[in-house]
Amino acid sequence: MSSAEELRRLTRELLAAHPPASTDRLDFLRARFDAGLAWVHYPEGLGGLGAPRSLQAVVDAELEAAGAPDNDPRRIGIGLGMAAPTILGYGTEEQKRRYLRPLWTGEEVWCQLFSEPGAGSDLAALGTRAVREDGGPSRSSEAESGGDWVVNGQKVWTSSAHVARWAILIARTDPDVPKHRGITYFICDMTDPGVEVRPLRQITGEAEFNEVFLTDVRIPDSRRLGEVGDGWRVAQTTLNNERVAIGGMRLPREGGMIGPVSKTWRERPELRTHDLHQRLLKLWVEAEVARLTGERLRQQLVAGQPGPEGAGMKLAFARLNQEISGLEVELLGADGLLYDDWTMRRPELVDFTGREAGYRYLRSKGNSIEGGTSEVLLNIVAERVLGLPAEPRTDKDVAWKDLAR
């Protein structure tokens, strides 16, 4: 297990062998991965050294001070925050070595094919079907591996699908068992001719989201993650990491949405009113509490995988973004409703803080839907964090094929 001093030494050796000023960006990132300095807590040979997760900050600080390039983590957030920990937890050794390196360097962008128009917030009710090509049994986890699966269905709200090379996909492989038990998890090639990506224009005027149609998409069994029919359990790793990635990102004081409105408040005293002042103070404190709670949550991650506590962080993220952006629009008055470009655009990533107040206000409306609706997350916090009684679920033991849709 590496120490902080050993990690500093390894980082300096990397910088000496690959000076950032004269090394191609991609070559540097590949060398960093191979040196085990990408995710220091990952195993050796997979971008890490088996070191404590908390020591990643030591490496990052050394590289930042040296002016080394990063892997543009916001652009590849789905791969880093959702696909990578799932592949690490359930992938074969061959899968880990094939996908993790280009995922981390940003050579291959990932997206997530989970949500469906017919399932709403009940992800386990998904209807996209994956059938073994040979027509043989698809429900048994003991079924022989090999061959292809043929996938048909539709997914929706898929960020970055228009630029993604790979997707994490869950599909129904057995309709004769209850909905949570008949799902299998796959890696889908987004360049397959059966994959059609269509933009979904949002209230902001842009289309970072997509709907994805899957028509006779062939997925080799070698791209299955986990056992057949065990996809719901595998997906929990993805979802728990997703909530932390969205709601628990590392921020400096006044990072995120609270930063721009605080800056405007200081620089434009003519806009201030007593009511807005009181609301800003309240939201500033809540944003700081959420930031510090996120730091504590990340410290807990050193000991293992994220749990349901991430749902609480994501809830706070959505609520605060919406309330802070609403306050900012009120503070700016008519100017708060403006931003520079309403034309149809296809961004690779979302910029929450680098745009105008009007953009932030409109885009934040999606925060309580993406990554799990706030209503579903409230149930998770109630049942899995607070230990409250679960709501009655009459469909729990009913075969998926017999559910009303």
So which residues are the catalytic ones? Answer: 242
Q: Count Cβ atoms below 10 Å from residue 182 Cβ, excluding itself.
A: 24
Burial of 218 (0-12, 13-18, 19+ CB in 10 A): middle
Angle of CA points 340, 342, 346, to nearest 5°: 110
For 194-203, give one letter per residue: b (16+ CB within 10 A) or e: bbebebeeee
- DSSP summary character for residue 389: P
- What's the 3-state SS for 315-351? HHHHHHHHHHHHHHHHHHHHHHHCCCCCCCCCCCCCC
Burial of 296 (0-12, 13-18, 19+ CB in 10 A): exposed
Alpha helix locations (H) across 123-273?
231-247, 258-267
**Residues 213 and 158: beta-carbon distance below 8 Å:** no
Burial of 357 (0-12, 13-18, 19+ CB in 10 A): buried
- Residue with token string 């960093």: 32
SS3 content of the chain, % helix, strand, coil (to 5): 45, 15, 40
Within 8 A by CB and 6+ apart from 403, the residues are 125, 179, 395
How far apart, in Å, are the Cα atoms of 399 and each of 155, 178, 222, 308?
22, 4, 28, 27
Instruction: State both tokens at 113.
Output: 């094919």
- DSSP summary character for residue 365: G
**Residues 132 and 149: beta-carbon distance below 8 Å:** yes
CA dist 164 and 348 (Å) reads: 9
- DSSP summary character for residue 145: P
